[in-house]
């Protein structure tokens, strides 16, 4: 069954090629399609296009279908083109001509748009929740290890003292920026396109404000052409947000892999969270973090895929846009898996509290000793040269004392302030920050 059936049947190869795996992907949109239809028919009743008894019949039937979508038993039958067709087919099969009235005043174009926006709204909220969970674990680790020094590096050379608290806290605060990206994408998605029809509106007196309220959108895409132009833009915004989170995760995963290397020996994992080698009996590999790194690096390509697919499309709907589901649906699942696994692993990450005492790290403290001389009244350049010459002569002996007090440094991590930033960013997605 096809909603555009006009009495002829297209070639089977055309059907297979144009539908692709859309039926499978559309299963993820089923509940949103039903929710959109329920709002739409309530609006149709309000403008006189459905009788009260017809509305009740349709709502009851849609409620039954919604249950199947929520419990995983909803299917798109062979010969049915997509989720929209399946829902209308089920309604018509059950209610006869009443089921055929559900499509008045809309097109599959705005129908799939509203489905996707509802889907992306939920997916972005779920990703934001997973980001917040990882943030909380990172902050807990930051506080627990705030007084444990570790080496800091620039150019992959030992540079200045850092701390495990500073390291964990850095990734926590980086996730705040990622949460802002998610919030921006959420606001792009949280606009109602329903009523834009095929992109040029409808001659029916549709009440778009009503459907906006019923579907809990914060606003609508007012201009009907702009509403259709949001297909691709919504996905691109979400893709950039996902890539931003993935970038933070990939960098953290790389740090862990590096720091677990015996040459560094800064962190370790319980044996049961590592994997082994088929030939080397001593190996305990950080495969989970390597896979997080690899998967997140792939996710950073998603915005480019979306951009390349949409960059030269003209105004209005084009079938190319169907392929966006192939790109974005797996990405939302993948980033949540990586976030949830990272949360689990970070909670079990063990640190080497004694690593800093290795003579290998003596030169970490040169800047501290330069600053100590400056505080005693020695001009900076003279102090720099004095410590530098000690290093050159091989006579430098560090004091190994670190006294940082300014905001965000080793001795003043500003954990609560960073938590406040996260609360504000997260509240843009989930609502009142007092409820977080």
Which residues neighbour 98 within 8 Å (Cβ) at sequence distance 6 or greater?
54, 57, 58, 91
Q: Quick one: pLDDT at residue 4?
A: 44
- pTM for the full predicted model: 0.92
Q: Is the pLDDT of residue 5 over 70?
A: no
In this structure, whether the domain defined by 109-204+223-357+404-435 belongs to CATH 1.20.200.10 is answered with: yes
Nearest alpha-carbon partner for 152 in 390, 343, 410, 335: 410
Q: Quick one: pLDDT at residue 204?
A: 96
| pLDDT, averaged across the chain | 93
Q: How does strand 219-220 pair with strand 191-192? A: parallel
Q: Is the pLDDT of residue 260 over 80?
A: yes
| Residue found by looking up tokens 């705005």 in the block | 110
Q: Is the pLDDT of residue 11 over 80?
A: no
Is 12-104's fold the same as 109-204+223-357+404-435's? no
| Residue found by looking up tokens 């050159």 in the block | 392
Tokens of 399: 């004091």
Share of the chain above pLDDT 90, in %: 85
Q: Band of the pLDDT at 435, cuts 50, 70, 90?
A: very low
Per-residue pLDDT tens over the stretch 26-67: 999 999 999 999 999 999 999 999 999 999 999 999 999 999
Q: Quick one: pLDDT at residue 315?
A: 86
Q: Band of the pLDDT at 434, cuts 50, 70, 90?
A: very low
CATH number of 12-104: 1.10.275.10
Q: Quick one: pLDDT at residue 9?
A: 65
Q: What average pLDDT does this structure show over 274-288?
A: 90
Q: Quick one: pLDDT at residue 436?
A: 45
Q: What average pLDDT does this structure show over 195-204?
A: 94
Q: What average pLDDT does this structure show over 179-193?
A: 97
Q: Is the pLDDT of residue 1 over 60?
A: no
Cα–Cα distance between 148 and 354 in angstroms, integer?
9
Distance of CA 174 to the CA centre of its chain: 14
Q: What average pLDDT does this structure show over 168-183?
A: 98
| Residue found by looking up tokens 């919504």 in the block | 234
Q: Band of the pLDDT at 10, cuts 50, 70, 90?
A: low
Per-residue pLDDT tens over the stretch 417-427: 999 999 999 99
Cα–Cα distance between 257 and 245 in angstroms, integer?
19
Per-residue pLDDT tens over the stretch 295-341: 999 999 999 999 999 988 888 888 889 999 999 999 999 999 999 99
Q: Quick one: pLDDT at residue 15?
A: 61
Q: Quick one: pLDDT at residue 16?
A: 64
Q: Is the pLDDT of residue 79 over 90?
A: no
Phi-psi region of 187 (alpha: psi -120 to 50; beta: other; left: phi over 0): alpha
Domain edges within the chain: 12-104, 109-204+223-357+404-435, 359-393
Per-residue pLDDT tens over the stretch 123-153: 999 999 999 999 999 999 999 999 999 999 9
Q: What average pLDDT does this structure show over 93-103?
A: 95
Instruction: Give the torsion through C-alpha atoms of 298, 303, 308, 314, to 10 deg.
Output: 160
Q: Is the pLDDT of residue 388 over 80?
A: yes
Q: Is the pLDDT of residue 280 over 80?
A: yes
Q: Quick one: pLDDT at residue 75?
A: 94
């Amino acid at each position: 069954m096809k909603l555009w059936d006009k009495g002829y049947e297209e070639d089977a190869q055309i059907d297979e090629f144009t539908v692709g795996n859309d039926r499978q992907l559309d299963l993820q949109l089923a509940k949103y399609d039903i929710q959109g239809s329920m709002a739409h028919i309530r609006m149709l009743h309000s403008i006189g296009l459905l009788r009260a008894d017809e509305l009740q019949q349709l709502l009851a039937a849609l409620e039954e279908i919604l249950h199947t979508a929520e419990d995983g038993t909803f299917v798109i039958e062979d010969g049915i083109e997509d989720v929209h067709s399946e829902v209308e087919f089920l309604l018509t099969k059950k209610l006869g001509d009443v089921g055929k009235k559900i499509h008045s005043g809309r097109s599959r174009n705005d129908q799939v748009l509203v489905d996707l926006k509802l889907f992306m709204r939920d997916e972005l909220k779920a990703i934001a929740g997973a980001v917040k969970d990882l943030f909380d674990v990172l902050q807990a680790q930051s506080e627990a290890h705030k007084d444990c020094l570790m080496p800091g590096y620039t150019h992959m050379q030992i540079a200045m003292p850092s701390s495990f608290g500073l390291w964990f806290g850095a990734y926590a605060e980086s996730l705040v920026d990622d949460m802002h990206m998610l919030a921006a994408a959420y606001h792009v998605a949280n606009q109602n396109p329903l009523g834009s029809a095929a992109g040029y509106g409808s001659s029916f007196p549709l009440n778009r404000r009503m459907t906006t309220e019923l579907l809990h959108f914060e606003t609508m895409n007012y201009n009907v052409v702009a509403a259709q132009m949001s297909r691709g833009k919504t996905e691109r915004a979400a893709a950039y947000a996902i890539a931003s989170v993935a970038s933070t995760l990939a960098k953290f995963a790389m740090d862990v892999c590096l720091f677990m290397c015996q040459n560094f020996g800064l962190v370790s994992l319980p044996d049961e969270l590592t994997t082994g080698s088929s030939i080397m009996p001593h190996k305990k590999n950080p495969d989970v973090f390597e896979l997080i790194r690899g998967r997140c690096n792939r996710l950073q390509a998603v915005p480019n895929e979306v951009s390349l697919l949409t960059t030269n499309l003209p105004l209005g709907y084009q079938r190319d846009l169907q392929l966006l589901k192939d790109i974005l649906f797996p990405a939302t699942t993948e980033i949540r898996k990586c976030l949830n696994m990272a949360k689990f692993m970070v909670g079990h990450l063990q640190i080497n509290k004694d690593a800093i005492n290795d003579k290998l790290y003596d030169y970490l403290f040169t800047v501290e000793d330069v600053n100590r001389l400056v505080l005693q009244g020695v001009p900076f350049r003279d102090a720099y040269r004095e410590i530098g010459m000690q290093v050159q002569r091989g006579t430098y002996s560090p004091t190994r004392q670190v006294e940082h007090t300014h905001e965000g440094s080793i001795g003043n991590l500003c954990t609560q302030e960073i938590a406040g930033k996260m609360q504000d960013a997260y509240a843009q997605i989930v609502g009142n920050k007092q409820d977080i």
